[in-house]
Amino acid sequence: MHKKYNKFLIIALILVLVLGVSSYFYNDLVSEAATAADGEGDITSSLNSTVGNVAPVDTASAKVTEDTSFLMKLNSLTVIKVDTSLFEDQGFKLLKDNNIKLTPESYGRVNPFAPTSGRSVVSNVSTFTLKTIPATAITTKSAILNGSLDGAASTNIYFEYGLTKENLNKVTPKVTASLVGNFGSTVTGLSSNTEYFFRAVANINGNTTAGDIISFKTN
């Protein structure tokens, strides 16, 4: 794949060089033509011979014609053939690929402005703080899940919990009263000696947001 890339790069450089030469000749042509048109001076040459006098030759016009012909031929080019034997040269083969291989790692969201898991993104997240607080009163069958909300009022506060971070498939009853500060909810029917994951969730100004996911283990 790198060899194909290198070939393409060399061909592109050759095309740039050809265009540069064309631009140089074209600018020179325009400059000389303008000088001749302004009448700053005529460049002529006369040849005297024993046979007679030869009419003066306008060398500037001749050069303009020659340059114009060259540019027309150059402009008509549609295919440029490159000697590919260059790529078989030992010096070319000794070129090294200095690309750095990157170790695959997890990346963030493709669109940071898109909703996450069906949740709307709160437009002004800097005005409030929603936290998931470690569970308390943990027994073999129950625990109290805790959270806190500061800087905003919510009409829906609850917890999501489950056996894995990826599957918080259980929900506590939603509190439908405005609240600012700490809050909690008791969950029962848990399995003993089992790790559970949970997070606090709140509906703020019609947008649903969630705190960090943390865990606890029953006795």
Sign of the Cα pseudo-torsion (65, 71, 74, 75, in order): negative
pLDDT 10s digits, 7-65: 777 777 787 777 776 776 666 655 665 555 555 444 444 444 444 454 555 666 777 78
104 assigned to some structural domain: no
CATH number at residue 186: 2.60.40.10
50 assigned to some structural domain: no
The tally of domains found in the chain comes to 2
Identify the helix (H) or strand (E) that includes residue 13. helix 2-37
Residue 98 has pLDDT above 50, yes or no: yes
Residues 9 and 81 in one domain: yes
100 assigned to some structural domain: no
Residue 195 has pLDDT above 50, yes or no: yes
110 assigned to some structural domain: no
Residues 152 and 74 in one domain: no
113 assigned to some structural domain: no
pLDDT of residue 44: 45
Closest CA to 130 of 110, 108, 158: 158
Answer with the residue of higher pLDDT: 132 or 23. 132
pLDDT 10s digits, 159-185: 999 999 999 999 999 887 565 688 899
Residues 76 and 151 in one domain: no
Residues 87 and 133 in one domain: no
Q: Which residue range is the domain that position 187 belongs to?
A: 127-217
Residues 87 and 139 in one domain: no
26 assigned to some structural domain: yes
99 assigned to some structural domain: no
9 assigned to some structural domain: yes
Between β-strands 156-162 and 53-58, what pairing exists: parallel, antiparallel or unpaired? unpaired
Residues 69 and 144 in one domain: no
Residues 143 and 193 in one domain: yes
- What is the SS3 string spanning the chain? CHHHHHHHHHHHHHHHHHHHHHHHHHHHHHHHHHHHHCCCCCCEEEEECCCCEEEEEEHHHHHHHHHHHHHHHHHCCCCCCCCHHHHHCHHHHCCCCCCCCCCCCCCCCCCCCCCECCECCCCCHHHCEEEEEEEECCCCCCEEEEEEEECCCCCEEEEEEECECCECCEECCCECCCCCEEEEEEECCCCCCCEEEEEEEEEECCEEEECCCEEEECC
Tell me which of 93-107, 153-167, 203-217 is least confident: 93-107
Answer with the residue of higher pLDDT: 205 or 123. 205
